[in-house]
């Protein structure tokens, strides 16, 4: 039997194929950024693989793999066709820190032999943003995260969650607390939505609302996450005891890679095989222990809790009787400044003092409302003399010292001279006799006869005389009564209460039409509190809900109307700062306030 010679070039081809079949090629990028997704592909020219040994990937987190796929290559050389099977092994990684890192080799067992690839090196740098991500999330209820789809359709509880943290779990009433909601994610977020619940027992203000959320890379329980602060709120506990911040549910839209996908197709086709899934996550509830303010409270406690300083001024300090002077008290610091009550003035008893005007210039900070609140007291001295204005006391509670602190203004002296309209008397020079006041007196005998059409002596004359006398007496009595009533400040306040409240309600209605929610609720609260204070003669320092309810009962107001009145005040307080749509309740609150004041006016 004759054996044909095999051409040398065919032997060379078969040798190369055999050598190629026994080697593994590693394909990996040489550079990437933190948060960027990459693929490492191992290629081997065999179809049957008995075992795969893959090492660790320092500096990276594996999100999918190893995934095995195969293909066939055909070639036609010198009239002969050959077929070669190729196997691809791919791993999807995401970079989690900067530096130079080694991609380990892979060891494959095929046909009873171990085949090992070479290693590779990748340089990881920080991206253009703080998180290494190419884009930032929006600030509303929607948020976007770096493009890192989950490897499968399942997203675990440790892959995406939101934490709720409060700056203190023990606090005093009215002490400022910061509530923070923070997103932790290892997957790509398209949108995330959630609504802040109503917080019973807290006065709530949103601390910050940036147009874009700032992403950062953070390690939590040994795992790398991309994080962002979703919301921050400033809370002021309104009562003592154990108060709960309830859980919030969020709906998150996430990118996931379909389990049925071939990652080799994804690698070569641009990664378009991504689905969107929705995952519901919830924050844990938080309990806060709120301690009551120490008792007994000072009589002139302003309700302020925080850290404060004061300054004051009196302008002018020299004036005439019946002219006005302004005393200004400026409270500076941080705390519950929106809830501070005006201190009681220290003017002499015979000064007429008007209700203080409040000017608030504050901003929201993690330490509370920070800035200044100015109280302006307008006073009118009625008599000349030299008066000492005693120091005004401002009392607040310092939660760090756990004690009440009293601040005092300086003592002022007011010099009041005689005014142009005070104590004026009429002198003889004020009386003048005009020449034509005295007419010529005719002399001689005069003939006097009674005219038949004269009124004097008739019944009508006497009736007119009696009527005018009675009218004079009634007018005198009325004027004396008015003088007494005008001297009664409480009665004067009560008479003007309804007019002042109606004026504020008209202004509130104009703000309602212009959808100016914050100013609208302020105007409604001033209308309700001003009406009650004037009508019931309650001072600003005593103007709180408990005193209102007790005084209303003493004046014969029914419990249902009292509850309605207090509820409208409470709704205004929460509607100004609570999240949600403040315009939705404006019409309802306006109608309730108008009806409550009208009903009170009928009873009192």
Q: What is the mean pLDDT of the chain?
A: 77
Mean pLDDT of 377-390: 90
Answer yes or no: do 26 and 52 share one domain. yes
Does 484 have pLDDT greater than 90? Answer: no
264 CB-near residues (< 8 Å, 6+ apart): 41, 67, 69, 88, 90
CATH number where 541 lies: 1.20.120
Last residue of a domain, one of 291, 314, 333: 291
Please indicate, yes or no, whether residues 277 and 347 belong to a single structural domain of this protein.
Answer: no
Asked whether the predicted pLDDT for residue 402 surpasses 50, the reply is: yes
Do 202 and 98 fall into the same domain?
no
**How confident is the model at residue 435, as a pLDDT?**
39
Q: Which residues constitute the domain of residue 590?
A: 489-603
Query: Stretch 378-389: mean pLDDT, rounded?
Result: 90
pLDDT tops 60 at residue 368: yes
**Whole-number pLDDT of residue 446:** 60
Q: Is residue 118 part of a domain?
A: yes
- Segment 156-183 mean pLDDT: 88
The reply to whether 494 and 558 lie within a common domain is: yes
**Is 379 inside a domain boundary?**
yes
For the chain, percent of residues with pLDDT exceeding 70: 74
**Count of structural domains within the chain:** 4
Which among 417, 444, 479 is the end of a domain? 417
Q: What is the CA radius of gyration of the chain?
A: 43
Report the percent of the chain where pLDDT is more than 90: 15
* pLDDT of 205 higher than 80: yes
Mean pLDDT of all residues in 486-494: 62
User: Within this chain, do residues 534 and 495 fall inside the same structural domain, yes or no?
Assistant: yes
Q: Are 561 and 592 members of one domain?
A: yes
Q: Is residue 312 one of the residues assigned to a domain? A: yes
Q: pLDDT grade, residue 373 (50/70/90)?
A: very high
Q: What's 514's DSSP letter?
A: T
Q: How confident is the model at residue 444 (pLDDT cuts 50, 70, 90)?
A: low
**C-alpha torsion sign, points 347, 348, 353, 355:** positive
Task: Taking the CA atoms of 512, 341, 173 and 397 in sequence, report the sign of the dihedral they define.
Answer: positive
- The verdict on 168 and 276 lying in the same domain is yes
Over 70: is that where the pLDDT of 399 sits? yes
Mean pLDDT of 8-16: 46
Residues 113 and 195 in one domain: no
Averaged pLDDT for residues 486-498:
67
Whether 116 is in a domain gets the answer yes
Cis preceding-peptide flag for 316 (omega within 30 of 0)? yes
Position 4 confidence tier, pLDDT thresholds 50, 70, 90: very low
Determine the average pLDDT of the residues in 568-593: 75
H or E element at residue 506 = helix 489-513
Q: Is position 177 within any domain?
A: yes
If asked whether residues 320 and 284 sit together in one domain, one would say no
**CATH number, position 324:** 2.60.40.740
DSSP string, 101-160: EEEPPEEEEETTEEEE---EEEEEE--SSTTS-S---BSSS-----S--BSSS---TTTE
| Residue finishing a domain among 384, 417, 450 | 417
Residue 472 lies in a domain: no
Q: What is the pTM of this model?
A: 0.44
Buried b (16+ CB within 10 A) or exposed e, 547-583: bbbebbeeeebeeebbebbbebbebbbbbbbbbeebe
Min mean pLDDT across 74-83, 245-254, 329-338 is at 74-83
Residue 446 lies in a domain: no
CATH of the domain at 256: 2.60.40
Structure tokens given for 45: 């020219």
What is the 8-class DSSP label of residue 336?
Answer: S
């Amino acid at each position: 039997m004759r054996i044909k010679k095999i051409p040398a070039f065919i032997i060379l081809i078969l040798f190369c194929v055999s050598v190629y079949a026994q080697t593994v090629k590693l394909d990996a990028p040489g550079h990437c950024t933190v948060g960027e997704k990459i693929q490492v592909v191992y290629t081997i020219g065999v179809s049957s693989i008995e075992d795969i040994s893959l090492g660790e990937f320092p500096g990276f987190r594996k999100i999918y793999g190893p995934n095995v796929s195969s293909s066939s290559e055909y070639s036609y050389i010198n009239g002969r066709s050959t077929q070669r099977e190729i196997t691809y092994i791919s791993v999807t990684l995401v970079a989690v820190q900067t530096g130079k890192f080694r991609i380990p080799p892979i060891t494959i067992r095929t046909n009873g032999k171990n085949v090992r690839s070479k290693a590779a090196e990748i340089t990881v740098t920080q991206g253009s943003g703080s998180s290494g991500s190419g884009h930032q999330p929006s600030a509303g209820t929607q948020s976007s995260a770096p493009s890192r789809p989950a490897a499968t359709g399942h997203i675990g509880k440790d892959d995406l969650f939101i934490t709720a943290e409060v700056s203190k779990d023990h606090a005093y009433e009215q002490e400022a607390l910061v509530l923070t909601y923070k997103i932790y994610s290892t997957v790509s977020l398209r949108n995330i939505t959630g609504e802040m619940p109503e917080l019973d027992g807290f006065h709530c203000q949103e601390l910050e609302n940036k147009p874009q959320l700032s992403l950062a890379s953070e390690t939590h329980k040994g795992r790398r996450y991309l994080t962002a602060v979703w919301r921050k709120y400033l809370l002021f506990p309104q009562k003592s005891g154990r108060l709960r911040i309830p859980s919030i549910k969020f709906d998150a839209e996430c990118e996931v890679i379909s389990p049925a996908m071939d990652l080799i197709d994804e690698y070569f086709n641009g990664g378009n095989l991504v689905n969107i899934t929705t995952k519901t996550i919830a924050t844990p509830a938080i309990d806060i222990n709120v301690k009551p303010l120490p008792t007994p409270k000072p009589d002139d406690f302003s309700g302020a809790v925080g850290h404060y300083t004061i300054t004051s001024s009196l302008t002018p300090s020299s004036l005439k009787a019946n002219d006005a002077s302004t005393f200004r008290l400026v409270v500076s610091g941080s705390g519950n400044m929106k809830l501070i009550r005006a201190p009681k003035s220290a003017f002499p008893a015979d000064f007429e003092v008007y209700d203080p005007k409040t000017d608030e210039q504050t901003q929201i900070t993690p330490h509370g409302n920070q800035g200044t609140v100015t109280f302006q007291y307008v006073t009118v001295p009625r008599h000349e003399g030299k008066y000492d204005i005693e120091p005004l006391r401002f009392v607040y509670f310092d939660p760090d010292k756990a004690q009440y602190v009293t601040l005092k203004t300086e003592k002022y002296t007011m010099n009041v001279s005689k005014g142009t309209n005070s104590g004026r008397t009429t002198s003889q020079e004020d009386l003048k006799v005009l020449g034509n006041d005295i007419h010529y007196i005719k002399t001689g005998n005069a003939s006097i006869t009674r005219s038949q059409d004269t009124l004097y002596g008739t019944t009508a004359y006497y009736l007119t005389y009696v009527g005018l006398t009675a009218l004079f007496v009634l007018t005198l009595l009325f004027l004396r009564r008015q003088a007494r009533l005008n001297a009664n400040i409480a009665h004067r306040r009560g008479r003007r209460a309804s007019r002042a409240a109606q004026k504020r309600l008209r202004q509130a209605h104009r703000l309602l039409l212009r959808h100016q929610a914050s100013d609208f609720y302020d105007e409604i609260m001033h209308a309700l509190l001003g009406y009650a204070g004037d009508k019931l003669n309650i001072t600003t320092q005593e103007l709180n809900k408990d005193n209102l309810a007790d005084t209303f009962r003493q004046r014969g107001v029914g419990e249902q109307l009292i509850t309605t009145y207090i509820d409208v005040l409470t709704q205004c307080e929460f509607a100004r700062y609570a999240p949600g749509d403040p315009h939705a309740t404006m019409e309802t609150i306006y109608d309730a306030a108008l009806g409550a004041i009208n009903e009170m006016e009928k009873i009192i």
